[in-house]
Amino acid sequence: MSSNKNTETVVIVGATGLVGSAIISTLERSHLPVDKLIPLASARSAGKSIRFRGAEYIVGGFDPAVFNSARWVFFSGKDGLSKDYCPVAANEGAWVIDNSGSFRMDPDCPLVVPEINLDAIGKEPGIIANPNCSTIQLAVVLAKIRDQYGLKRVIVSTYQSASGVGRDYLNELIKDSRTFLERGPGAVEKTSLAFNCHPAIGSKSENGRFGEETKLEKEVRKILNDENLKIIATAVRVPTMVGHGESVVVETESQARPDEFREILAGSEGVEVLDDFESQLFPTPRQTENTDPVWVGRIRSAGIFENDLAFWVVADNLLKGAALNAVQIAAALYNRGKM
């Protein structure tokens, strides 16, 4: 364990990526004190400069030696990097908040959405897993349903944006879309996401699922601390840039009234309701890009179970789905004086 923790040093691994950049901008507007920022990336970005709270920082190549002085380490690089080096940073006595899938289902690592289960984090610094982007926004709303009505079953279909895969994939979608428009559909592979949808995200997983679906189902159970929750996810990649949408049907234990649920959500921190049936105003990924809340609309009874609700939920996958949730964890720990 290091004793060199006299300054508020923050390391960001993957600082030039979509999530890393969002962590920097979210930290900038947070109350977390940062004496020194150490942005790291791969060799291709080393030497670039980043502005943070009025100062300039040069991006370094990956170097685990910097963990020694760090109070906070945010991992938002490649998954393999997290797997190998989160334990190294934790051994140096840093609070490590990891955006990859490497530790989410590790029973020794808390998987945290601050509004729901901050108490899963112990007193000593260690690795805290930030949930998958599609998990966080769903869990925020499901926790409200569980607390008010009891939760029996969840059926969710996702509409996930290209930025969920990272900067290179987003750029590929933009390039393919331009080619499609300028040179016609024949100029773009039929498998491209441009003007298309992909109903299989991640690699083949168990029970006919793909990786993203298994993650979503298992992570929701872990966060809600309900191993027996019945949940089926169909995860679909759509050609939006930022913001994941989810269409959800839940079976509840007791009767859930849409009007009452709308009011509960409207009074919940971090949630915005946009649900105007008459004017057809509902949250869309583009409208909610660069905003912090989890947005909910289309709240109604499904009428397929004795007690149920249907709704639509959207959040910025780079903010509440990743960077904001991670910074909120750090800020909550800082407030708790746990360092």
Ligand X SMILES: NC(=O)c1ccc[n+]([C@@H]2O[C@H](COP(=O)([O-])OP(=O)(O)OC[C@H]3O[C@@H](n4cnc5c(N)ncnc54)[C@H](OP(=O)(O)O)[C@@H]3O)[C@@H](O)[C@H]2O)c1
Q: Contact region for ligand X (CB under 6 A) — 73-81, 106-114, 215-223, 227-235? A: 73-81
Residue with tokens 């170097």: 63
Q: Which one among 89, 109, 133, 329 touches ligand X, defined by CB under 6 A?
A: 133
Of residues 74 through 113, those in contact with ligand X by CB under 6 A are 76-79, 81, 99-100
Instruction: Write each residue from 137 to 176 as x if it is in contact with ligand X (CB under 6 A), else as -, in one continuous string.
Output: --------------------------xx-xxx--------
Tokens of 213: 């679906």
Q: Does 24 bind ligand X (CB under 6 A)?
A: no
Find, among 55, 64, 70, 61, the residue nearest to 8 by Cα: 70
Closer by beta carbon to ligand X, 93 or else 164: 164
Closer by beta carbon to ligand X, 309 or else 324: 324
Closer by beta carbon to ligand X, 158 or else 317: 317
Q: Which one among 11, 32, 34, 45 touches ligand X, defined by CB under 6 A?
A: 45
Q: Which one among 111, 201, 248, 322 touches ligand X, defined by CB under 6 A?
A: 322
The torsion angles phi and psi of 154, rounded to 5 degrees, stand at -135, 130
Q: Does 39 bind ligand X (CB under 6 A)?
A: no
Number of residue whose CB is nearest ligand X? 17
Given 86, 133, 197, 198, the catalytic residue = 133
Residues 6+ apart with CB under 8 A from 186: none
Q: How far is the CB of 306 from ligand X (least distance, A)?
A: 36
Count of chain residues binding ligand X (CB under 6 A) = 31
CA dist., res. 225 & res. 314, Å (int): 23
Residues 6+ apart with CB under 8 A from 229: 151, 153, 154, 220, 221
Q: Contact region for ligand X (CB under 6 A) — 187-195, 225-233, 274-282, 317-325? A: 317-325
Closer by beta carbon to ligand X, 17 or else 126: 17
Q: Does 328 bind ligand X (CB under 6 A)?
A: no
Q: Establish whether 244 is a catalytic residue.
A: yes
Given 109, 197, 198, 244, the catalytic residue = 244
CA dist., res. 273 & res. 262, Å (int): 7
Pairing between strand 294-300 and 271-273? Answer: parallel
Pairing between strand 127-129 and 230-237? Answer: unpaired
The alpha-helical segments, DSSP class H, found in the chain are: 18-28, 79-91, 114-117, 133-149, 167-183, 211-223, 258-266, 285-288, 324-335
Residues 6+ apart with CB under 8 A from 249: 154, 155, 156, 302, 304, 308, 309, 310
Q: How far is the CB of 322 from ligand X (least distance, A)?
A: 4
Q: Contact region for ligand X (CB under 6 A) — 16-24, 89-97, 224-232, 278-286? A: 16-24
Q: How far is the CB of 276 from ligand X (least distance, A)?
A: 28
Q: What is the identity of the amino acid at 296? A: V
For residue 270, how far is the Cα from the chain centroid?
14
Find, among 333, 325, 294, the residue nearest to 76 by Cα: 325
Q: Which one among 14, 93, 239, 297 touches ligand X, defined by CB under 6 A?
A: 14
Q: Which residues bind ligand X (CB under 6 A)?
A: 13-20, 40-42, 44-45, 62, 76-79, 81, 99-100, 133, 163-164, 166-168, 317-318, 321-322
Active site residues: 133, 244
